[in-house]
Structure 1
Amino acid sequence: MLKSLRLSHLAAGAIAVLVGYTSSVAIIFQAIEAVGATQAQANSWLIALGLGMGLTSLGLSLWFRMPILTAWSTPGAALLVVGLKDVPMDQAIGAFVFCGVLLTLTGLTGWFERLSQLIPDTLANALLAGILFQFGLSAFTALNDDTALVAIMGVNFLIGRLWFHRYNIPVVLLAGCLWAGFAGSFGDIQQLDLSLSLPMPVMPGFSVPVLIGVGLPLYIVTMCSQNMPGVVTLRSAGYQPPVSASLMVTGIASILLAPFGGYAFNLAAITAAICAGPEADGDPKTRYLASATAGVLYCLVGLGGATVISLFLIAPKALVATIAGLALLSTIGNSLSHALSDSQNREAALITFMTTVSGISFFGIGSAFWALAIGLTVDHLLTRQTQSNTPTTAHQSR
């Protein structure tokens, strides 16, 4: 396995971890503040989340030989920011355990895997393109924030496409870091937190109102806004993901790590696309090494706790946005191409894409779920209408 490890795997894994943390770690901090956690408990949350993502990603990737990456539930964290106000810590932990149990049961029953197989490939690709679109767009809007940095990274990206395609993204990241360091774009080094972090368990307490008001919504948004796009990401990359097994693993991890602050784990979408795309490896059979690398790095970041997180936070936003957008560019293009390739399903795919990009949210559930629901409805109606307008063979013979 180590003989097949390449620089592109290491780069894709590192970029996935960088994007995973910088894109949503601020929401985690807000959720921690909402429940009134102490500094020691906050550090424990970061350890649990890092180790949870790292161990589940590493285990699933190596076992199934697929670029399966897991993540904390970002919409779930946003839900907790509001839902955990005035909720005692032990009851919040109880809600996390309850969510983990529901995730595990979902994997055991297999109903979610059967549901995911009903999604047409055109809609799946449209959904993925819509999810990743904002990240691709951010690479260009970042030109307003740091024109020189983004321009240098863009020029290196074009040169890399011509001369060293396999190592393109690592070289672009290195060029961006060197320029940012030269220009003084990194944050204040004094913001680094060098304190030692240790896991601190809290015994769960169970309250029916909290289980219903926090645990159940946490499960719903994690399934609809995270796990479904995660399945779609792997399918769009040409894999048949072990959905039920992955849900069982992430569910059990959620149960075991909930007392330490690991509130919910799920299949990743955006970061998984980085590891499952052609930039990680031209051979789909060995792209799992990229997600395995990310798993190892997640573990190291988790063990580093507050120190590593603060290091991520001082990185220039334009650097992170640009490298993420450029790394996902091929995946976005391929997804759009496949989504719009079939003229019969083109309207439904386009509606799915536009709804996802819109960012709408109802009942605390994000646009990915509603895009899929609307897209499937439109696809069903248009397909049925097309079939009803197609003359039968018997009719044509008259």
Structure 2
Amino acid sequence: MEHSSHAPVAGVVAALVGFTSSFAVVLAGLTAVGATPAEAGSGLAVLCLVQGVGVLWLTLRHRTPLLLAWSTPGAAMLAATGAVAGGWPAAIGAFLLTGALILLTGVWSRLGALIAAIPPALAQAMLAGVVLTLCLAPVHGLSAEPWAVGPIVLCWLVALRLAKRWAVPVAFAATLVVVGIDVARAGGLSGSLLPTLDWTVPTLTWPAVLGIALPLYVVTMAGQNVPGTAVMASYGYRVPWRETMTVTGLGTVAGATFGGHAVNLAAITASMTASPDVHPDPRLRWRAAHAAGWTYLVLAVLSTPLTTFVSAAPPDVVGTVAGLALLATLASALHTAMGDAARREAAAITFVVAAAGGAFLGIGAAFWALAAGLGVDLLLRHHRRAEAPGSDA
């Protein structure tokens, strides 16, 4: 009986940890590509909504602890990319295209094979370069707003020592206190506290396709869906790949015009609903993920007032939480990127181009980083073959 009641609690905790650990990254990403605070709040709300519905569907269908999440690496990529030609409507069009590509991955195996053919070292190097700027925000924040940012970083460090999993949620709680004090001094909030979904007419431009849609698709697949599948396999679960890609692809398409950038398999929080700690019987752990699905629906209602509240904070404060949330992602991405000795130079170039930011021909750095890395990798591969013993050269 004790284990039966523990599973739903684990699911609620998983959803809360996933939300509080990275919602600031999502808001930063959506705002960077042109969303107003209201549109960013709408995007956050619709992501929670489609995640919740998708999780409820998959868990009931398969009785498996399948957990969905928004694409945190994708949101970080958006924050690094910034506005593209066509503004927010073009970003919405790119989100729609990303959803279509995810959906296509489920029904056309060759597309999945093409993504799998991208060397993990290069994909992770691109991700590391993308998140680096956000990870520097706490450092800049301590310099610009030491009395506001200092307590957040201190709370994060203490929680990192005592309960690592809760470090970022604790930092988020500290942020709410800091923002609350700042709002009280300013005389109150301005903005909607009621949950709303803002619909935007999508457009599509080539800079948005190449600078947002394609990199967003790549980092979502390589940084979330593939690792999420591996995490589930480590606990003995087989992910129904085609149906999961269909559900997440349709969810991304459905949420795109309301500001949602991408939905995918959970990777980091997946173990919180699939591990033996949830329930000793693997057949009953799905109840944890199911409870997480209901929790996401509740969080969807709270997303708009939370966005209004956080939007009142100084930029350095919100950036600090986003940067702290992405430090683990940066460390993991760098480890993978530099772990492949044969591709270390190509990975380093990919990382540097992505970290440099900016745009060329109106297209963001993420696209050029991956293109440069793949080009250098191809060049060096031919060079290594030419120098190999027994070659004609």
Matched-pair identity in %:
27
Give the AA of the match of 2:69: L
* 345 and 93 in structure 1: CA distance in 2 versus 1, 3 angstrom threshold: closer
Return the alpha-carbon distance in structure 2 between the equivalents of residues 200 and 157 of structure 1: 34
Return the alpha-carbon distance in structure 1 between the equivalents of residues 344 and 260 of structure 2: 35
* 1:65–1:285 CA contact under 8 A, matched in 2: no
The question of 1:224 aligning with 2:223 is answered no
Give the unaligned 5+ runs of structure 2.
1-6, 231-238, 279-285
Residue 319 of structure 1: aligned partner: 317
Return the alpha-carbon distance in structure 2 between the equivalents of residues 237 and 216 of structure 1: 29
**1:125: Cα distance to partner?**
2.1
**1:129: Cα distance to partner?**
1.1
Give the unaligned 5+ runs of structure 1.
34-41, 86-91, 205-209
* 1:254–1:265 CA contact under 8 A, matched in 2: yes
* 1:13–1:290 CA contact under 8 A, matched in 2: no
**1:231: Cα distance to partner?**
1.6
Return the alpha-carbon distance in structure 2 between the equivalents of residues 229 and 143 of structure 1: 30
* 295 and 309 in structure 1: CA distance in 2 versus 1, 3 angstrom threshold: farther
Return the alpha-carbon distance in structure 1 between the equivalents of residues 41 and 15 of structure 2: 29
* 1:70–1:267 CA contact under 8 A, matched in 2: yes
* 360 and 118 in structure 1: CA distance in 2 versus 1, 3 angstrom threshold: farther
The partner residue of 1:262 within 258, 261, 266 is 258
Please give the secondary structure, in 2, of the residue aligned with 1:69.
Answer: strand
The question of 1:14 aligning with 2:50 is answered no
Return the alpha-carbon distance in structure 2 between the equivalents of residues 224 and 191 of structure 1: 36
Residue 165 of structure 1: aligned partner: 164
Structure 1 residues 340-371: Cα deviation after superposition (integer angstroms, max 9, x where no partner): 12332110110011111122434554222221
Return the alpha-carbon distance in structure 1 between the equivalents of residues 345 and 267 of structure 2: 24
* 69 and 369 in structure 1: CA distance in 2 versus 1, 3 angstrom threshold: farther
Structure 1 residues 277-314: Cα deviation after superposition (integer angstroms, max 9, x where no partner): x9x8997998x999988866654454457544322312
Return the alpha-carbon distance in structure 1 between the equivalents of residues 190 and 71 of structure 2: 26
* 2:155–2:174 CA contact under 8 A, matched in 1: yes
**1:255: Cα distance to partner?**
5.3
**1:236: Cα distance to partner?**
8.0
TM-score normalized by the length of structure 1: 0.69
Please give the secondary structure, in 2, of the residue aligned with 1:191.
Answer: coil
Give the AA of the match of 2:357: G
Return the alpha-carbon distance in structure 2 between the equivalents of residues 166 and 391 of structure 1: 50
Return the alpha-carbon distance in structure 1 between the equivalents of residues 120 and 368 of structure 2: 17
Residue 146 of structure 2: aligned partner: 147
Q: Tell me the number of residue pairs that the alignment of Structure 1 and Structure 2 aligns.
A: 365
Residue 368 of structure 2: aligned partner: 370
* 2:50–2:255 CA contact under 8 A, matched in 1: yes
**1:250: Cα distance to partner?**
4.1
**1:194: Cα distance to partner?**
4.0
* 1:57–1:295 CA contact under 8 A, matched in 2: yes
